[in-house]
């Protein structure tokens, strides 16, 4: 029977995730639990560099009529 993750944390038991071993999103090698979801510190650092360098970006949709919307800068 599956166990509630919260109760497992209290008892110190681990709960199976129900998904198989994933591969590193940078190089494709099997992941290492110490650097999950990556296989190594090197791949984790490469990914961080992509975020900091702007290679990855989360798209933002600006709403029309945002000027005078009652935000903190509107006086």
Domain 20-53, architecture per CATH: 2-Layer Sandwich (3.30)
Phi-psi region of 48 (alpha: psi -120 to 50; beta: other; left: phi over 0): alpha
Confidence band, pLDDT 50/70/90 cuts, at residue 72: low
Provide the token pair at 52: 């900091």
Give residue-wise pLDDT tens across range 8-35.
444 444 444 545 678 999 999 999 999 9
Coil, strand or helix at 21: coil
Does residue 24 have a known ligand-binding role? yes
User: For the chain, percent helix, then strand, then coil, each to nearest 5?
Assistant: 25, 5, 70
Does residue 30 have a known ligand-binding role? no
- pTM for the model stands at 0.52
Does residue 63 have a known ligand-binding role? no
Domain chopping of the chain, boundaries: 20-53
Does residue 27 have a known ligand-binding role? yes
Bridge partners, 2 (sequence order) = none
């Amino acid at each position: 029977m599956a166990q509630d993750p919260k109760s497992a944390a209290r008892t110190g038991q681990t709960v199976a995730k129900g998904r198989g071993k994933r591969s590193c999103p940078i190089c494709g090698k099997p992941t290492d639990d110490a650097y999950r979801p990556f296989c190594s510190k090197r791949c984790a650092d490469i990914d961080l560099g992509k975020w900091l360098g702007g290679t990855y970006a989360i798209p933002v949709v600006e709403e029309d009529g945002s000027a005078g919307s009652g935000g903190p800068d509107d006086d």
